[in-house]
Protein backbone atom coordinates (compact mmCIF):
# COMPACT_ATOMS: atom_id res chain seq x y z
CA UNK A 1 0.00 0.00 0.00
CA UNK A 2 1.24 3.47 -0.88
CA UNK A 3 0.89 6.05 1.89
CA UNK A 4 2.42 9.34 2.97
CA UNK A 5 3.16 10.73 6.39
CA UNK A 6 2.86 14.38 7.35
CA UNK A 7 4.15 15.64 10.69
CA UNK A 8 2.21 18.43 12.38
CA UNK A 9 3.16 20.39 15.47
CA UNK A 10 0.06 21.05 17.56
CA UNK A 11 -0.44 24.77 18.15
CA UNK A 12 -1.81 26.15 21.39
CA UNK A 13 -4.59 27.88 19.42
CA UNK A 14 -5.86 24.45 18.32
CA UNK A 15 -6.78 23.47 21.88
CA UNK A 16 -10.02 24.06 23.75
CA UNK A 17 -10.91 24.84 27.39
CA UNK A 18 -10.19 21.21 28.28
CA UNK A 19 -6.59 21.61 27.03
CA UNK A 20 -7.07 19.11 24.21
CA UNK A 21 -7.15 19.68 20.47
CA UNK A 22 -10.60 20.90 19.43
CA UNK A 23 -12.30 18.24 17.29
CA UNK A 24 -12.77 20.39 14.16
CA UNK A 25 -9.00 20.81 13.80
CA UNK A 26 -8.75 17.19 12.70
CA UNK A 27 -10.62 18.16 9.52
CA UNK A 28 -8.00 20.81 8.79
CA UNK A 29 -5.23 18.31 9.47
CA UNK A 30 -6.85 15.86 7.05
CA UNK A 31 -6.77 18.56 4.37
CA UNK A 32 -3.11 19.32 5.08
CA UNK A 33 -2.26 15.60 4.90
CA UNK A 34 -4.35 15.04 1.75
CA UNK A 35 -2.71 18.00 -0.02
CA UNK A 36 0.68 16.60 1.00
CA UNK A 37 -0.31 13.15 -0.35
CA UNK A 38 -1.33 14.68 -3.68
CA UNK A 39 1.87 16.76 -3.90
CA UNK A 40 4.06 13.75 -3.13
CA UNK A 41 2.22 11.87 -5.88
CA UNK A 42 3.31 14.66 -8.25
CA UNK A 43 0.09 16.67 -8.57
CA UNK A 44 -1.41 19.91 -7.25
CA UNK A 45 -4.78 21.18 -6.11
CA UNK A 46 -3.65 24.68 -7.14
CA UNK A 47 -3.04 23.52 -10.73
CA UNK A 48 -6.45 21.87 -10.74
CA UNK A 49 -8.06 25.13 -9.65
CA UNK A 50 -6.23 27.01 -12.43
CA UNK A 51 -8.10 24.68 -14.81
CA UNK A 52 -11.40 25.79 -13.17
CA UNK A 53 -11.81 22.45 -11.41
CA UNK A 54 -12.47 21.84 -7.73
CA UNK A 55 -12.55 18.76 -5.53
CA UNK A 56 -15.07 19.21 -2.73
CA UNK A 57 -15.50 16.95 0.26
CA UNK A 58 -18.73 14.95 -0.11
CA UNK A 59 -18.45 13.01 3.12
CA UNK A 60 -16.18 12.99 6.14
CA UNK A 61 -15.85 10.56 8.98
CA UNK A 62 -13.66 10.84 12.08
CA UNK A 63 -13.29 8.41 14.96
CA UNK A 64 -11.59 9.93 17.98
CA UNK A 65 -9.66 7.45 20.11
CA UNK A 66 -7.23 9.44 22.28
CA UNK A 67 -6.78 13.09 23.18
CA UNK A 68 -4.00 15.20 21.73
CA UNK A 69 -2.63 18.16 23.68
CA UNK A 70 -0.30 21.08 23.08
CA UNK A 71 2.68 20.91 22.33
CA UNK A 72 2.56 17.36 20.95
CA UNK A 73 3.76 16.47 17.49
CA UNK A 74 1.56 14.14 15.52
CA UNK A 75 1.94 12.31 12.24
CA UNK A 76 -0.91 11.84 9.82
CA UNK A 77 -0.68 8.77 7.64
CA UNK A 78 -2.72 9.12 4.42
CA UNK A 79 -3.61 6.62 1.70
CA UNK A 80 -6.30 5.91 -0.87
CA UNK A 81 -9.04 3.77 0.65
CA UNK A 82 -11.12 3.57 -2.57
CA UNK A 83 -10.84 5.05 -6.05
CA UNK A 84 -12.87 5.25 -9.24
CA UNK A 85 -12.76 7.64 -12.19
CA UNK A 86 -15.38 9.76 -10.46
CA UNK A 87 -14.65 9.45 -6.75
CA UNK A 88 -11.70 9.16 -4.38
CA UNK A 89 -11.89 8.13 -0.73
CA UNK A 90 -8.81 9.04 1.30
CA UNK A 91 -8.11 7.40 4.66
CA UNK A 92 -6.16 8.83 7.58
CA UNK A 93 -4.55 7.79 10.84
CA UNK A 94 -3.54 10.48 13.32
CA UNK A 95 -0.61 9.04 15.25
CA UNK A 96 0.77 10.41 18.51
CA UNK A 97 4.50 10.65 19.21
CA UNK A 98 4.29 7.49 21.33
CA UNK A 99 2.86 5.55 18.36
CA UNK A 100 -0.73 5.42 19.63
CA UNK A 101 -3.48 6.13 17.13
CA UNK A 102 -5.38 9.21 18.29
CA UNK A 103 -7.95 9.22 15.48
CA UNK A 104 -8.86 7.65 12.17
CA UNK A 105 -10.92 9.05 9.36
CA UNK A 106 -11.98 9.11 5.74
CA UNK A 107 -12.93 11.82 3.29
CA UNK A 108 -14.80 11.30 0.01
CA UNK A 109 -14.16 13.61 -2.96
CA UNK A 110 -15.23 14.18 -6.55
CA UNK A 111 -13.89 16.63 -9.12
CA UNK A 112 -16.25 19.28 -10.51
CA UNK A 113 -16.01 22.12 -12.98
CA UNK A 114 -16.47 25.35 -11.04
CA UNK A 115 -20.13 26.30 -11.04
CA UNK A 116 -21.30 22.77 -11.82
CA UNK A 117 -22.60 20.03 -9.57
CA UNK A 118 -21.85 17.17 -11.97
CA UNK A 119 -18.69 15.14 -11.31
CA UNK A 120 -16.15 14.86 -14.09
CA UNK A 121 -13.99 11.86 -14.87
CA UNK A 122 -10.44 12.20 -13.62
CA UNK A 123 -9.15 9.92 -16.38
CA UNK A 124 -10.36 12.36 -19.06
CA UNK A 125 -9.06 15.57 -17.51
CA UNK A 126 -5.93 14.28 -15.79
CA UNK A 127 -4.92 10.94 -17.29
CA UNK A 128 -1.54 10.98 -15.50
CA UNK A 129 -3.24 11.55 -12.14
CA UNK A 130 -5.72 8.76 -12.85
CA UNK A 131 -2.91 6.39 -13.89
CA UNK A 132 -0.94 7.14 -10.71
CA UNK A 133 -4.00 6.53 -8.52
CA UNK A 134 -4.70 3.28 -10.36
CA UNK A 135 -1.09 2.30 -9.60
CA UNK A 136 -1.68 3.07 -5.91
CA UNK A 137 -4.86 1.00 -5.95
CA UNK A 138 -2.97 -1.91 -7.50
CA UNK A 139 -0.29 -1.61 -4.78
CA UNK A 140 -2.91 -1.79 -2.06
CA UNK A 141 -5.12 -4.35 -3.77
CA UNK A 142 -8.27 -2.41 -2.87
Do residues 103 and 28 make contact, with C-beta atoms less than 8 angstroms apart?
no
Do residues 27 and 38 make contact, with C-beta atoms less than 8 angstroms apart?
no
Distances (CA, A) of 9 to 13, 72, 103, 129: 11, 6, 16, 30
Greatest C-alpha distance within the chain: 48
Quick check: helix, strand or coil at residue 5?
strand
Do residues 90 and 4 make contact, with C-beta atoms less than 8 angstroms apart?
no
Residue numbers annotated as active site:
16
Amino acid sequence: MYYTEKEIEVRYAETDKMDVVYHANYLIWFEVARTDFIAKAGFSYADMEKDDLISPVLDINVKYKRSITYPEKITIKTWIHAYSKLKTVYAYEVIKENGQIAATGKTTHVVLKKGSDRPIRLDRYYPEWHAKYMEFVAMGEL
